Amino acid sequence: MRSAFEKRINEEAAQKISEFFNLLWNFLGSCYQRDILEIGCGFPADLERYAGLAKYRKHKFFCVDPDESKIHSLKTYIQKRGLVRFIKAQIGVCEDLKFSSKYFDAVLAFNTYTHLANLHQSLGEIRRVLKPGGLFFFNDAYQELSGEHVSTGHINNYKSVLVRRIIKIFNFKIKYFYCFESEGEEYWYIIGRRDKEKDQKLPEKCNEFI
């Protein structure tokens, strides 16, 4: 049975979304011994796939989420499925990542940007922990914030044109970008590469470039 999201997208959008995730899986499947960070807890199916890639490609996956109950559930799932060697989960926020600079080969953030308390600080941290040339896989949706959205932790809301501009100013070269609208909501999928050369001082506030 198709999900509510699948029912509202057209064939072109479905193909482009599939292309975005195929680029992710192809990247992970074609390299060796990479350190990968996911912002927010992944779905069980993704965790199983991460574990398979970790086993055969020697990757290490790290998941960070501010929700203690989610991390507890994730750790329980990882332990029950025998994935402890491949996936590490810890409580944390994107605005203050407890990892060394230039540590990760890729950072994944799916459906998380609207939950970030400080988008500027979060992108600065993602850039900091990525190695030069590292990839940032990023998607979410723009929708008018209602009381229901706010109550479930949706606190940021920028349209794709602003998100793309913000990411570029943080020295990410846009490698892939797709955006579409459906039923008043805007969905976007972005892959950015941390620039190998540029390392200039970052803007101190979001409103300096929005």
Nearest to 26 by CA among 102, 110, 137, 126: 137
| Number of domains, the chain | 1
pLDDT given at position 107 = 96
Encode pLDDT of 138-194 as tens digits: 888 766 544 444 334 445 556 666 677 777 778 888 899 898 888 778 888 999 999
Confidence of residue 204 (pLDDT cuts 50, 70, 90): very low
Establish if 17 belongs to a structural domain. no
Whole-model pTM: value is 0.82
Instruction: Return all residues near 36 (Cβ < 8 A) that are at least 6 apart.
Output: 28, 50, 59, 60, 61, 62, 104, 105, 106, 107, 108
What pLDDT, on a 0 to 100 scale, did the predictor assign at position 42?
A: 62
In a domain, 9, yes or no: no
Residues sharing a CB contact under 8 Å with residue 39, sequence separation 6 or more, in sequence order: 64, 65, 94, 107, 108, 109, 112, 122, 126
Q: Is 9 a residue whose pLDDT tops 50? A: yes
Asked if 132 contacts 194 with a C-beta cutoff of 8 angstroms, the reply is yes
- pLDDT classification of 208: cutoffs 50, 70, 90: very low
Percent of the chain predicted with pLDDT > 90: 35
Give the strand order in the sheet containing 130-142: 87-91, 60-65, 35-39, 104-110, 130-142, 185-194, 172-182
Could you tell me the residue range of the domain that residue 161 belongs to? 33-208
In a domain, 1, yes or no: no
Per-residue pLDDT of 75-133, as tens digits, reads 998 888 888 888 899 999 999 999 999 999 999 998 887 767 777 788 889 999 999 99
Q: Under 8 Å CB-to-CB from 59, ≥6 apart: which residues?
A: 28, 31, 33, 34, 35, 36, 50, 53, 86
Any domain includes 15: no
Strand partners, 187: 141, 180
**In a domain? residue 16:** no
Q: Average pLDDT of 47-72?
A: 88
In a domain, 23, yes or no: no
For residues 127 and 206, the model is more confident at 127
What's the pLDDT band for 1 if we cut at 50, 70, 90?
A: very low
User: Could you tell me whether strands 104-110 and 35-39 are parallel, antiparallel, or unpaired per DSSP bridges?
Assistant: parallel
- Residue 98 one-letter amino acid: K
Cα–Cα distance measured from residue 131 to residue 176, given in angstroms and rounded to the nearest whole number: 19
Is residue 70 domain-resident? yes
* Amino acid code (one letter) for 68: E
Q: Higher pLDDT residue, 43 or 34? A: 34
Between CA 164 and CA 161 the distance in angstroms is 5
CATH of the domain at 172: 3.40.50.150
Does some domain include residue 28? no
In order of 10, 44, 70, 73, the CA distances from 80 in angstroms are 38, 12, 15, 11
